[in-house]
Amino acid sequence: MQYRDTSFSYVMCSDPLDFGGSLEASTHFADFWTAIVAAAEDVAVAWSAGEKWIKAESCLIPAREMSINEERSLTHIGVNLAHSTLRPFQNALQVLGARRLTLMAVIDALEIWDRLDDEASKGKDAIESFLRPLWTATDALVPTALASLDGGRAVMARLKAIRFAPASNDNLVSLDDLYRLPSPITNSQLEKHIPDLPVVSGHFSIIENLYKCIDVLSFERLLDEIGGRINDETAAKRFFGTDTKRIRMFYRFLSDYLGRSSSFPDENAMPPLNPDVADLVPSDPALTAYDEQHAVTYLRILDADAEGADWREVARIVVYVDLDREPNRTREAFENHLVRAKWTTKEGYRRLLQRGWRTSGI
Protein backbone atom coordinates (compact mmCIF):
# COMPACT_ATOMS: atom_id res chain seq x y z
CA MET A 1 0.00 0.00 0.00
CA GLN A 2 1.28 3.48 -0.78
CA TYR A 3 -0.07 6.66 0.77
CA ARG A 4 -1.18 8.98 -2.02
CA ASP A 5 -4.23 10.76 -0.59
CA THR A 6 -2.85 14.18 0.38
CA SER A 7 -6.21 15.79 1.22
CA PHE A 8 -5.97 14.82 4.89
CA SER A 9 -2.47 16.29 5.19
CA TYR A 10 -3.63 19.40 3.35
CA VAL A 11 -6.43 19.95 5.83
CA MET A 12 -4.15 19.28 8.78
CA CYS A 13 -1.62 21.95 7.77
CA SER A 14 -4.17 24.56 6.69
CA ASP A 15 -5.74 27.44 8.62
CA PRO A 16 -9.58 27.34 8.63
CA LEU A 17 -9.61 31.11 8.11
CA ASP A 18 -8.18 30.37 4.64
CA PHE A 19 -11.54 28.77 3.84
CA GLY A 20 -13.49 31.78 4.97
CA GLY A 21 -14.04 30.45 8.48
CA SER A 22 -14.69 32.64 11.49
CA LEU A 23 -12.57 33.06 14.59
CA GLU A 24 -14.98 30.70 16.34
CA ALA A 25 -14.40 28.15 13.60
CA SER A 26 -10.71 28.63 14.11
CA THR A 27 -11.08 27.90 17.83
CA HIS A 28 -13.04 24.74 17.09
CA PHE A 29 -10.37 23.76 14.56
CA ALA A 30 -7.69 24.21 17.23
CA ASP A 31 -9.61 21.88 19.54
CA PHE A 32 -9.99 19.43 16.67
CA TRP A 33 -6.25 19.69 15.92
CA THR A 34 -5.29 19.09 19.57
CA ALA A 35 -7.45 15.96 19.63
CA ILE A 36 -5.92 14.74 16.38
CA VAL A 37 -2.38 15.21 17.69
CA ALA A 38 -3.18 13.41 20.94
CA ALA A 39 -4.78 10.51 19.05
CA ALA A 40 -1.84 10.29 16.63
CA GLU A 41 0.78 9.87 19.36
CA ASP A 42 0.25 6.12 19.63
CA VAL A 43 -0.79 5.41 16.04
CA ALA A 44 1.35 4.78 12.94
CA VAL A 45 0.13 7.71 10.85
CA ALA A 46 3.26 8.55 8.82
CA TRP A 47 4.02 6.84 5.52
CA SER A 48 7.76 6.21 5.32
CA ALA A 49 10.23 6.07 2.45
CA GLY A 50 10.53 2.37 3.29
CA GLU A 51 6.85 2.11 2.37
CA LYS A 52 5.49 1.25 5.78
CA TRP A 53 3.37 3.06 8.34
CA ILE A 54 5.35 4.38 11.31
CA LYS A 55 4.65 6.62 14.26
CA ALA A 56 5.20 10.29 13.58
CA GLU A 57 7.72 10.55 16.41
CA SER A 58 9.89 7.98 14.58
CA CYS A 59 9.64 9.83 11.28
CA LEU A 60 12.51 12.02 10.05
CA ILE A 61 12.00 14.76 7.49
CA PRO A 62 14.82 15.13 4.94
CA ALA A 63 15.72 18.27 3.07
CA ARG A 64 13.51 18.98 0.08
CA GLU A 65 16.47 18.71 -2.30
CA MET A 66 17.43 15.18 -1.23
CA SER A 67 17.57 12.83 -4.20
CA ILE A 68 15.69 9.55 -4.47
CA ASN A 69 18.96 7.60 -4.40
CA GLU A 70 20.03 9.39 -1.23
CA GLU A 71 16.65 8.65 0.30
CA ARG A 72 17.00 4.96 -0.59
CA SER A 73 20.52 4.75 0.82
CA LEU A 74 19.44 6.19 4.17
CA THR A 75 16.45 3.84 4.24
CA HIS A 76 18.83 0.95 3.54
CA ILE A 77 20.76 1.59 6.77
CA GLY A 78 17.58 1.93 8.80
CA VAL A 79 16.77 5.65 8.82
CA ASN A 80 12.99 6.20 8.94
CA LEU A 81 12.41 9.00 6.45
CA ALA A 82 9.08 10.53 5.57
CA HIS A 83 7.95 9.44 2.13
CA SER A 84 8.67 11.95 -0.63
CA THR A 85 4.93 12.47 -1.18
CA LEU A 86 4.67 13.91 2.35
CA ARG A 87 7.48 16.45 2.02
CA PRO A 88 5.05 19.31 1.16
CA PHE A 89 3.41 18.74 4.55
CA GLN A 90 6.43 19.15 6.82
CA ASN A 91 4.66 21.50 9.25
CA ALA A 92 1.89 19.00 9.89
CA LEU A 93 4.37 16.18 10.36
CA GLN A 94 6.39 18.18 12.86
CA VAL A 95 3.32 19.07 14.90
CA LEU A 96 2.54 15.34 15.06
CA GLY A 97 6.04 14.69 16.42
CA ALA A 98 8.20 14.14 13.34
CA ARG A 99 11.68 15.67 13.40
CA ARG A 100 14.02 17.00 10.79
CA LEU A 101 16.80 14.69 9.67
CA THR A 102 20.08 15.39 11.48
CA LEU A 103 23.60 14.02 11.28
CA MET A 104 23.09 12.47 14.71
CA ALA A 105 20.21 10.35 13.39
CA VAL A 106 22.33 9.17 10.46
CA ILE A 107 25.21 8.31 12.81
CA ASP A 108 22.86 6.30 15.05
CA ALA A 109 21.84 4.20 12.04
CA LEU A 110 25.37 3.94 10.67
CA GLU A 111 26.73 2.62 13.97
CA ILE A 112 24.15 -0.17 13.95
CA TRP A 113 24.88 -0.91 10.28
CA ASP A 114 28.62 -0.97 10.98
CA ARG A 115 28.13 -3.67 13.61
CA LEU A 116 26.35 -6.01 11.21
CA ASP A 117 28.00 -9.37 10.59
CA ASP A 118 26.80 -9.41 7.00
CA GLU A 119 30.03 -8.66 5.15
CA ALA A 120 28.10 -8.61 1.86
CA SER A 121 26.92 -5.16 2.86
CA LYS A 122 30.50 -3.88 2.94
CA GLY A 123 33.22 -3.35 0.35
CA LYS A 124 33.10 -2.66 -3.38
CA ASP A 125 29.60 -4.04 -3.95
CA ALA A 126 28.25 -1.74 -1.25
CA ILE A 127 30.01 1.25 -2.83
CA GLU A 128 28.40 0.62 -6.17
CA SER A 129 24.95 -0.14 -4.79
CA PHE A 130 24.21 2.44 -2.14
CA LEU A 131 27.23 4.02 -0.47
CA ARG A 132 27.87 6.83 -2.94
CA PRO A 133 24.48 8.49 -2.30
CA LEU A 134 24.88 7.73 1.41
CA TRP A 135 28.13 9.69 1.42
CA THR A 136 26.57 12.70 -0.30
CA ALA A 137 23.53 12.65 1.99
CA THR A 138 25.75 12.47 5.07
CA ASP A 139 28.15 15.07 3.72
CA ALA A 140 25.31 17.58 3.33
CA LEU A 141 24.56 17.33 7.05
CA VAL A 142 28.13 17.89 8.24
CA PRO A 143 28.26 21.73 8.08
CA THR A 144 25.26 22.07 10.40
CA ALA A 145 26.82 19.67 12.89
CA LEU A 146 30.16 21.47 12.77
CA ALA A 147 28.41 24.79 13.37
CA SER A 148 26.99 23.47 16.63
CA LEU A 149 29.09 24.65 19.54
CA ASP A 150 27.27 22.25 21.84
CA GLY A 151 28.31 18.69 21.03
CA GLY A 152 29.49 19.22 17.46
CA ARG A 153 32.92 17.73 18.11
CA ALA A 154 31.47 14.72 19.88
CA VAL A 155 29.14 14.04 16.96
CA MET A 156 31.99 14.25 14.47
CA ALA A 157 34.14 11.96 16.64
CA ARG A 158 31.42 9.31 16.45
CA LEU A 159 31.10 9.73 12.69
CA LYS A 160 34.86 9.41 12.14
CA ALA A 161 34.90 6.08 14.01
CA ILE A 162 32.39 4.38 11.66
CA ARG A 163 33.71 2.08 8.92
CA PHE A 164 32.02 3.52 5.87
CA ALA A 165 34.78 5.35 3.97
CA PRO A 166 36.68 3.65 1.12
CA ALA A 167 40.41 2.95 1.31
CA SER A 168 42.37 2.82 -1.93
CA ASN A 169 41.60 -0.93 -2.18
CA ASP A 170 37.86 -0.18 -1.72
CA ASN A 171 37.71 -1.81 1.71
CA LEU A 172 35.59 0.22 4.08
CA VAL A 173 37.39 1.71 7.07
CA SER A 174 36.80 4.59 9.44
CA LEU A 175 37.79 8.17 8.64
CA ASP A 176 40.05 8.01 11.71
CA ASP A 177 42.02 5.14 10.17
CA LEU A 178 42.65 6.82 6.83
CA TYR A 179 45.00 9.39 5.39
CA ARG A 180 44.43 11.78 2.52
CA LEU A 181 47.38 12.80 0.38
CA PRO A 182 48.56 16.38 -0.07
CA SER A 183 47.97 17.67 -3.57
CA PRO A 184 49.31 16.88 -6.14
CA ILE A 185 50.59 13.55 -4.77
CA THR A 186 48.41 10.68 -6.04
CA ASN A 187 47.58 7.26 -4.67
CA SER A 188 49.31 5.54 -7.59
CA GLN A 189 52.56 7.42 -6.90
CA LEU A 190 52.50 6.37 -3.25
CA GLU A 191 51.57 2.76 -3.95
CA LYS A 192 54.60 2.24 -6.16
CA HIS A 193 56.79 2.56 -3.10
CA ILE A 194 54.55 1.88 -0.09
CA PRO A 195 51.55 -0.14 -1.27
CA ASP A 196 49.86 -0.89 2.05
CA LEU A 197 49.31 2.52 3.63
CA PRO A 198 45.71 3.27 4.69
CA VAL A 199 44.98 6.02 2.17
CA VAL A 200 41.47 7.08 1.20
CA SER A 201 40.29 6.22 -2.29
CA GLY A 202 40.76 9.00 -4.82
CA HIS A 203 37.08 9.20 -5.79
CA PHE A 204 36.14 10.06 -2.20
CA SER A 205 37.71 13.51 -2.62
CA ILE A 206 34.48 14.82 -4.18
CA ILE A 207 32.72 14.21 -0.84
CA GLU A 208 34.08 17.53 0.32
CA ASN A 209 33.17 17.81 4.00
CA LEU A 210 33.85 14.19 4.92
CA TYR A 211 37.10 14.25 2.94
CA LYS A 212 38.34 17.21 4.97
CA CYS A 213 37.75 15.23 8.17
CA ILE A 214 40.54 12.82 7.15
CA ASP A 215 44.05 13.63 8.39
CA VAL A 216 46.61 14.65 5.78
CA LEU A 217 49.55 12.29 5.38
CA SER A 218 52.26 14.85 6.07
CA PHE A 219 55.91 14.12 5.37
CA GLU A 220 56.55 13.54 9.06
CA ARG A 221 53.70 11.04 9.30
CA LEU A 222 54.88 9.34 6.12
CA LEU A 223 58.29 8.78 7.72
CA ASP A 224 56.63 7.50 10.88
CA GLU A 225 54.56 5.02 8.84
CA ILE A 226 57.67 3.81 6.99
CA GLY A 227 59.62 3.62 10.23
CA GLY A 228 56.90 1.43 11.73
CA ARG A 229 57.59 -1.11 8.99
CA ILE A 230 61.33 -1.16 9.68
CA ASN A 231 61.80 -2.59 13.15
CA ASP A 232 65.11 -4.35 12.50
CA GLU A 233 67.86 -4.71 9.93
CA THR A 234 66.13 -7.60 8.16
CA ALA A 235 62.94 -5.57 7.75
CA ALA A 236 64.99 -2.62 6.47
CA LYS A 237 66.67 -4.73 3.81
CA ARG A 238 63.35 -6.23 2.81
CA PHE A 239 61.75 -2.80 2.52
CA PHE A 240 64.55 -1.11 0.59
CA GLY A 241 65.74 -4.12 -1.37
CA THR A 242 69.11 -4.23 -3.11
CA ASP A 243 68.23 -2.59 -6.41
CA THR A 244 70.10 0.73 -6.38
CA LYS A 245 67.83 2.19 -9.04
CA ARG A 246 64.73 1.35 -7.01
CA ILE A 247 66.27 2.85 -3.87
CA ARG A 248 67.07 6.09 -5.68
CA MET A 249 63.57 6.22 -7.13
CA PHE A 250 62.27 5.90 -3.60
CA TYR A 251 64.44 8.80 -2.44
CA ARG A 252 63.30 10.86 -5.41
CA PHE A 253 59.71 10.17 -4.39
CA LEU A 254 60.45 11.33 -0.84
CA SER A 255 62.10 14.47 -2.18
CA ASP A 256 59.10 15.20 -4.41
CA TYR A 257 56.71 14.47 -1.56
CA LEU A 258 58.49 16.88 0.73
CA GLY A 259 58.77 19.55 -1.92
CA ARG A 260 55.12 19.38 -2.97
CA SER A 261 53.48 18.86 0.37
CA SER A 262 52.32 22.01 2.12
CA SER A 263 50.61 20.29 5.06
CA PHE A 264 52.88 20.10 8.07
CA PRO A 265 51.38 20.27 11.57
CA ASP A 266 54.68 21.49 12.98
CA GLU A 267 57.28 23.25 10.87
CA ASN A 268 60.00 22.19 13.33
CA ALA A 269 59.12 18.55 12.67
CA MET A 270 60.22 18.62 9.04
CA PRO A 271 63.72 18.98 7.59
CA PRO A 272 64.55 22.40 6.10
CA LEU A 273 64.16 22.67 2.35
CA ASN A 274 67.22 24.88 1.79
CA PRO A 275 69.59 24.61 4.76
CA ASP A 276 73.05 26.17 4.87
CA VAL A 277 75.69 23.70 3.69
CA ALA A 278 79.07 23.21 5.39
CA ASP A 279 82.28 22.31 3.59
CA LEU A 280 82.59 19.05 5.54
CA VAL A 281 79.96 16.52 6.48
CA PRO A 282 79.85 14.28 9.58
CA SER A 283 81.75 11.01 9.45
CA ASP A 284 79.91 9.48 12.40
CA PRO A 285 78.60 5.91 11.97
CA ALA A 286 75.22 7.13 13.22
CA LEU A 287 72.89 9.89 12.07
CA THR A 288 73.63 13.37 13.39
CA ALA A 289 71.58 16.54 13.68
CA TYR A 290 73.36 17.79 10.55
CA ASP A 291 72.19 14.72 8.62
CA GLU A 292 68.60 15.33 9.68
CA GLN A 293 68.80 18.99 8.72
CA HIS A 294 70.24 18.12 5.32
CA ALA A 295 68.01 15.18 4.40
CA VAL A 296 66.53 17.14 1.49
CA THR A 297 70.03 18.14 0.33
CA TYR A 298 71.05 14.47 0.31
CA LEU A 299 67.94 13.46 -1.61
CA ARG A 300 68.54 16.12 -4.27
CA ILE A 301 72.19 15.14 -4.69
CA LEU A 302 71.32 11.43 -5.00
CA ASP A 303 68.61 12.22 -7.53
CA ALA A 304 70.96 14.33 -9.63
CA ASP A 305 73.74 11.72 -9.42
CA ALA A 306 71.35 8.99 -10.61
CA GLU A 307 70.43 11.18 -13.60
CA GLY A 308 74.09 11.80 -14.44
CA ALA A 309 73.67 15.53 -14.02
CA ASP A 310 76.67 17.86 -14.19
CA TRP A 311 77.96 18.29 -10.64
CA ARG A 312 78.44 22.02 -11.25
CA GLU A 313 74.75 22.58 -11.93
CA VAL A 314 73.80 20.58 -8.84
CA ALA A 315 76.32 22.43 -6.70
CA ARG A 316 74.89 25.80 -7.71
CA ILE A 317 71.49 24.69 -6.43
CA VAL A 318 72.29 22.81 -3.22
CA VAL A 319 75.81 23.70 -2.04
CA TYR A 320 75.48 27.50 -2.13
CA VAL A 321 79.20 28.14 -2.55
CA ASP A 322 80.37 30.58 -5.24
CA LEU A 323 81.50 28.14 -7.90
CA ASP A 324 83.20 30.78 -10.04
CA ARG A 325 85.27 32.19 -7.21
CA GLU A 326 85.96 28.99 -5.29
CA PRO A 327 85.71 26.03 -7.68
CA ASN A 328 87.91 23.72 -5.59
CA ARG A 329 86.01 24.41 -2.38
CA THR A 330 82.70 23.91 -4.19
CA ARG A 331 83.80 20.58 -5.68
CA GLU A 332 85.04 19.32 -2.32
CA ALA A 333 81.80 20.29 -0.54
CA PHE A 334 79.72 18.62 -3.24
CA GLU A 335 81.71 15.38 -3.16
CA ASN A 336 81.65 15.25 0.64
CA HIS A 337 77.87 15.54 0.64
CA LEU A 338 77.52 12.98 -2.16
CA VAL A 339 79.55 10.43 -0.16
CA ARG A 340 77.44 11.04 2.93
CA ALA A 341 74.25 10.87 0.89
CA LYS A 342 75.26 7.49 -0.52
CA TRP A 343 75.95 6.28 3.01
CA THR A 344 72.37 7.07 3.88
CA THR A 345 71.18 4.72 1.13
CA LYS A 346 72.94 1.83 2.86
CA GLU A 347 72.50 2.57 6.53
CA GLY A 348 71.79 6.07 7.78
CA TYR A 349 68.39 6.76 6.28
CA ARG A 350 67.10 3.40 7.43
CA ARG A 351 67.91 4.44 10.98
CA LEU A 352 66.17 7.74 10.46
CA LEU A 353 63.02 5.99 9.26
CA GLN A 354 63.20 3.46 12.08
CA ARG A 355 62.84 6.11 14.77
CA GLY A 356 60.95 8.81 12.86
CA TRP A 357 61.87 12.45 12.40
CA ARG A 358 62.73 14.40 15.50
CA THR A 359 60.04 16.89 16.41
CA SER A 360 62.34 19.32 18.16
CA GLY A 361 65.92 20.37 18.37
CA ILE A 362 66.46 20.50 14.61
Q: Note the pLDDT tens digit of each residue in 155-180.
A: 999 999 999 999 998 889 999 999 99
The pLDDT of residue 75 is: 95
CB under 8 A, 24+ apart: contacts of 205-209: 205/180, 207/135, 207/136, 207/139, 208/139, 209/139, 209/142, 209/143, 209/146
The pLDDT of residue 24 is: 54
pLDDT at 334 over 90: no
Shared domain check, 158 and 94: no
Question: What's the structural domain count of the chain?
Answer: 3
Shared domain check, 255 and 178: no
Last residue of a domain, one of 216, 233, 251: 216
Least-confidence region, from 271-275, 277-281, 323-327: 271-275
- Cβ-contact 350, 230 below 8 angstroms: yes
The pLDDT of residue 151 is: 65
Q: What is the mean pLDDT of residues 181-188?
A: 89
In a domain, 88, yes or no: yes
- pLDDT grade for 6, boundaries at 50, 70 and 90: very low
Residue 106 phi/psi, 5-degree rounding, is -65, -40
Shared domain check, 345 and 229: yes
Strands 60-61 and 46-47, sheet pairing: unpaired
pLDDT at 263 over 50: no
The pLDDT of residue 168 is: 92
Shared domain check, 313 and 256: yes
- The CA-based angle 321-322-324, given to 5 degrees, is 140
pLDDT at 9 over 60: no
Q: Round to whole Å and give the CA distance between 135 and 166.
A: 10
- Containing domain of residue 152, as a range? 102-216
Shared domain check, 117 and 87: no
Shared domain check, 119 and 45: no
Shared domain check, 208 and 131: yes
In a domain, 68, yes or no: no
Percent of the chain at pLDDT > 90 equals: 30
In a domain, 71, yes or no: no
